[in-house]
Structure 1
Amino acid sequence: MELRHLRYFIAVAEEKSFNKAAERLYISQPPLSRQIKQLEEELGVVLIDREQRPLKLTEAGTFFYDHALQIIKKSDNLRAMTMRKAHFDGAISIGFVASMLYGTLPRAIARFRKVYPNINIKLHELNSWQQTQALTSGKIDVGFGRLLFDDASVRRIVLREESLVVALPLEHPIMQEQRSSIDLADLVNENLQLYPKLPRPGFIDYVLGLFEARNLEPTAFTEVSELHVALGLVAAGEGITIVPKSLEHLRDKEVGYLPFADGQLTSPVIMNVRHFDKSALLSTLLDVLYEIYEEEGVTHTREAI
């Protein structure tokens, strides 16, 4: 069985016609039919019910189709990642979620530039899920996000856990009480401004998951496009939001920030790289991040590329 057999079968399965599949593959219909027949003989099963019009997959064919898609995707990803690796020495593409720009990442990139002054650095704002796709397609070489996703092609390095804080209008009754901290349960009846609305899944889903894990359900929340919109609405007295601690200096003349009482509500800071990528560039970037954490006394865990 070869990859071309899988591609041929996928085309027939999706087009539901040997003729249309042959046109899509730019081959004639008879050799395509023979290739699919050979595939069925090799497997010892019938994959396509040829008596149906349009063609219909058998139960075994449906199973084979789903797995064939995964194999072809992995093959295409491997090709893209390998091609990207071949051009890695002269440039590095970095994906990031917006909140990372208020933490250590800008300082790390600036210090990295001093180590590699001739490297072309390209930055892409991508959410955590988009970073996974961009890594496997070869668009980026490393990503910095806040959500964990399972993907065999991507390794997640949790750099640290960053505390979350609540952003409230300065005139909010809770702020007037001059509290030193707040509980997640205190927010259930507040108008939450959660972000980003799209793309999903995103930080909004992570925050909602914090409530769900504690058997809490917000009575009202609004989905807004991005972090700055959420903070703008908080400043206007339209509700509250939850942000990483590194953002607590934003709009501080209009917005107050309170930590959570238990200190346990955090957001992971994650470095996403392709599995088995042992590049010296990535290793240096990771070392630079750890250096800054140590200089600033930031609690973190240390891993190697």
Structure 2
Amino acid sequence: MARTALSNATFASMRRLSVRQLIYFRELHRSGSFSKAASALSISQPTLSQQLAQLEDSLGAVLIERKGRLLRLTPHGKLLLERSKRVLDLLSATIEEFAELSTGQGLRIGMPSYLSYPVISLLLGEFRAAHPDISPFMIEATAEEMSRMLNEGELDAGFMSLPTPALLSEAMDSLIIWKADYRLCMSKAHPVARRLVLTGQDIAKLDIVLAPPDYHRTHYDYQLRGLRSLGIEPRIVHAEVLTTQSHMQLASAGLGACLISEGTVPIPDDLVLKHTDPSIGSHRLALFWRVDSSNPHLRTFLSAARQLRQS
């Protein structure tokens, strides 16, 4: 019958043992001498002798008989060699299985927390259909947080609008997967909404809602430059409003217009998207990834992203 509990003495002996000592013992048997084993293990011979002496003391048995330069295992040593091989082989297989399970969890991919892009849903759907054995683990984050997670290896890849935060490492590679011009989203009740195309003079009469600069400084500056390219100084609404949906709610209430690209979100009936002359600029979404990633599923995902871009 298998033992279900350890005696106090056995538990105390096991606490004094280490995996390192078992590895040293196996290498000594394989090499046949202390000098060769110490060299193979990249340790000093006194260290090897000390560790094996501690192993014998912990087990209360002599494991190796030393006769000159010859080493011979005692009966206790032969038993430990057989059992330690099973223990170390099982531990090695467990470590390798952990690595396989880690890879098998799929990809860790970041997605924007401020806007839902249909192209991301399309890519994920096509990828899962073609590779049902790979399960992307999606993490919603701001651009600033996503940049940090990419830099530190917490994400294999991430979707971010351009330009990216300054803290994103230049070692990243990227692929633009979607692009569309900005439009002014505003209430249909606003007098300016009756115009087919808005000029800089029209937009100068509007309050403009942008995400706070601290949320994504480089993108905020990019949108501000686009508005200023119309020859005006835009009237920016100061509000801690992060998501596109919240921006549209303010527009519905007549508190300001916001920048939206067609095809990104459903537009409520009381709002309208207006073209501008000249264009404010384009909204681009790119997929970023770590070039040093060892995850084999990343290459598969990137291939799917490139195919979608070409279609």
TM-score range, shorter chain: 0.5 to 0.7
Name 1:125's counterpart in structure 2.
140
Residue 234 of structure 1 and its aligned partner are, at CA, apart by: 0.6
Q: Percent identity between the aligned chains?
A: 16
Match for residue 121 of structure 2? 106
More moved, 149-158 vs 112-121 = 149-158
Q: Deviations over 1:194-214 (max 9, x none)?
A: 125653426433312323456
2-structure distance, mates of 1:85, 1:202: 39
Aligned to 1:153: 171
Aligned AA (2:260): V
Change (3 A) 1:138 1:261: same
Pair 249,195 (structure 1): closer, same or farther in 2 beyond 3 Å = same
The one-letter amino acid paired with 2:183 is V
Alignment-mate amino acid for residue 202 of structure 2: D
Is 1:234 matched with 2:278?
Answer: no
More deviation, 280-289/116-125? 280-289
The corresponding residue for 2:183 is: 165
Partner of 1:63 in structure 2? none
Q: What is the CA-CA distance between 1:140 and the residue it aligns to?
A: 1.4
1:243 aligns with 2:287: no
* Rounded Cα–Cα distance in structure 2 between residues aligned with 1:260 and 1:270: 24
Please report how far the alpha carbon of residue 260 of structure 1 lies from its aligned counterpart in structure 2 after TM superposition. Answer: 2.8
* Post-superposition CA distance 1:73-132 (Å, at most 9, x none): xxxxxxxxxx99993443211111146523211011011112221223211222223222
Give the aligned partner of residue 156 of structure 2.
Answer: 141
Q: Choose the corresponding residue for 2:210, options 188, 194, 200.
A: 194
Matched letter for residue 259 of structure 1? H
Match of 2:194 in 1: 176
Change (3 A) 1:93 1:116: same
Unaligned runs of 5+ in 2: 1-97
Shift of the 103–183 alpha-carbon distance from structure 1 to 2, 3 Å rule, reads farther
CA distance in 1, matches of 2:145, 2:286: 14
Tell whether the 8 Å contact from 1:97 to 1:145 is kept in structure 2 after alignment: yes
Structure 1 counterpart of 2:111: 96
Aligned residue runs from structure 1 range 256-275, under 5 A: 256-263=272-279, 265-275=281-291
Tell me by how many angstroms 1:274 deviates: 0.8
SS in 2 for 1:87: helix
Residues of 1 paired with 2:296 and 2:277: CA distance?
Answer: 41
Q: Encode CA deviations 1:50-94: one digit per residue, 9 max, x unaligned.
A: xxxxxxxxxxxxxxxxxxxxxxxxxxxxxxxxx999934432111
Q: 1:195 to 1:226 in 2, by over 3 A?
A: same
1:95/1:143 contact within 8 Å kept: yes
| Structure 1 pair 100–118 and aligned structure 2 pair: CA distance change class (3 A) | farther
Which whole-Å CA distance do the structure 2 matches of 1:194 and 1:264 have between them?
Answer: 14
Q: How do 1:43-122 and structure 2 match up within 5 A?
A: 87-98=102-113, 101-122=116-137
Residues in 2 aligned to 1:118 and 1:254: alpha-carbon distance in whole angstroms = 44
String of CA shifts for 1:214-243, please: whole Å, max 9, x gaps. Answer: 663213423323211110111111111101
- Contact 2:150–2:289 under 8 Å retained in 1: yes
Aligned length: 210
| In structure 2, C-alpha distance between the alignment counterparts of 1:216 and 1:277, rounded to whole Å | 45
Structure 1 residue 151: Cα displacement:
1.7
Measured in 1, the distance between the counterparts of 2:129 and 2:200 equals 42
How far is the alpha carbon of 1:158 from its aligned partner?
2.7
Q: Which amino acid aligns with 2:159?
A: F
Higher Cα Rg, which structure: 2
Q: 1:194 touches 1:241 (CA, 8 Å); kept in 2?
A: yes
